[in-house]
Amino acid sequence: MDFEKVVRHRRSIREYKDTPVDAEIVKKCIKLATLAPNSSNMQLWEFYHITNKNTLKKLAEACLGQRAATTAQQMVVFVTRRDLYKKRAKQMLELETLNIKKNSPPDRQTHRIQRWKMYYNHVIPVLYSSFLGIIGFFRKILVNIVGLFRPIVYQVSESDVRIVVHKSCALAAQTFMLAMANEGYDTCPMEGFDSKMVKRILKLPYRAEINMIVSCGIRSENGVWGDQMRVPFEEVYRKL
């Protein structure tokens, strides 16, 4: 399908056929999801591809028994991992250093490497560190003072950073769902679930968070609940 057909074909499917789904194609779509844009290229996400029938049954219960879960052939759980920021920052600094050495003029390499060292060794740790909201509170005070003199990003509280990480993960989830649509498979992004139960099922660490659970399969005749509805485009479109 061309892109417009893929976008129009993708619907939130509430019931699937009892038809097996190729796990390798789902895995391929998850791999494509890792190419989604994300904040500072930190990639603070993990993707749990669920194919085991017992685990699917447990997750369906955690998803409150909704048909999109109980009839799913497979599921993908999108998880945020803010707690991995130190590891990811180190990886990104190594990557950017290699990029600079490969692509930048020799006389500019030292300056550019130092700039990335400042960002990933100092800015990122300050931005992502947390302690009961206190550190984020002091970051807010600092940026509001600096903002009196120049433009600056104000969304630096711990809840702001949490939102940023979830936005990045949601972009990956959307990329995954479009990739699945292109393969002729259907999906449903679910936010109605018991997050504590899901974390126990997947044995996730304390600071991991569930972004969404996406069920996978092939739509049944009753899979689409009515015609697609969107508010009038004129209500949401602004041209300046």
Looking at the structure, tell me whether residues 133 and 184 fall in a common domain.
Answer: no
Looking at 157, 182, 206, the residue that finishes a domain is: 157
Question: Domain for residue 165, yes or no?
Answer: yes
Question: Domain for residue 65, yes or no?
Answer: yes
Looking at the structure, tell me whether residues 166 and 153 fall in a common domain.
Answer: no
Question: Domain for residue 233, yes or no?
Answer: no
Question: Domain for residue 184, yes or no?
Answer: yes
Looking at the structure, tell me whether residues 77 and 9 fall in a common domain.
Answer: yes
Looking at the structure, tell me whether residues 75 and 91 fall in a common domain.
Answer: no
| Residue 28 CA to its chain's centroid (Å) | 16
For residues 215 and 69, the answer to whether their CB atoms sit within 8 Å is yes
Q: How confident is the model at residue 133 (pLDDT cuts 50, 70, 90)?
A: confident
pLDDT, tens digit, 9 for 90 and up, residues 74-118: 999 999 999 999 999 999 999 999 999 999 999 999 999 999 999
pLDDT, tens digit, 9 for 90 and up, residues 143-180: 999 999 999 999 989 999 999 999 999 999 999 999 99
Q: How confident is the model at residue 134 (pLDDT cuts 50, 70, 90)?
A: confident
- Structural domain count of the chain: 2
For residue 48, the domain's CATH number is 3.40.109.10
Domain of 153, in residue numbers: 85-157
Question: Domain for residue 228, yes or no?
Answer: no
**Is the model's pLDDT at 1 over the cut of 80?**
no
**Is the model's pLDDT at 210 over the cut of 90?**
yes
Give the closest residue to 129 by CA, choosing from 163, 161, 165, 92: 161
CA end-to-end span of the chain, whole Å? 33
Looking at the structure, tell me whether residues 51 and 101 fall in a common domain.
Answer: no
What is the pLDDT at residue 226?
87
What is the pLDDT at residue 196?
97
Looking at the structure, tell me whether residues 146 and 184 fall in a common domain.
Answer: no
Give the closest residue to 198 by CA, choosing from 220, 214, 175: 214
| DSSP symbols for 116-132 | HHHIIIIIHHHHH--ST
Looking at the structure, tell me whether residues 166 and 74 fall in a common domain.
Answer: yes
What is the pLDDT at residue 130?
85
Question: Domain for residue 38, yes or no?
Answer: yes
Q: Express as a percent the part of the chain with pLDDT over 70.
A: 100
Looking at the structure, tell me whether residues 135 and 197 fall in a common domain.
Answer: no
Give the closest residue to 84 by CA, choosing from 114, 118, 116, 40: 40
Give the closest residue to 133 by CA, choosing from 153, 162, 154, 167: 162
Looking at the structure, tell me whether residues 72 and 173 fall in a common domain.
Answer: yes
Question: Domain for residue 235, yes or no?
Answer: no
Task: Kindly report the pTM of this predicted structure.
Answer: 0.94
What is the pLDDT at residue 66?
97
For residues 225 and 68, the answer to whether their CB atoms sit within 8 Å is no
For residues 166 and 80, the answer to whether their CB atoms sit within 8 Å is yes
Looking at the structure, tell me whether residues 73 and 115 fall in a common domain.
Answer: no
Looking at the structure, tell me whether residues 178 and 60 fall in a common domain.
Answer: yes
What is the pLDDT at residue 132?
81
**Is the model's pLDDT at 39 over the cut of 90?**
yes
Looking at the structure, tell me whether residues 76 and 189 fall in a common domain.
Answer: yes
Q: How confident is the model at residue 126 (pLDDT cuts 50, 70, 90)?
A: very high
Question: Domain for residue 192, yes or no?
Answer: yes
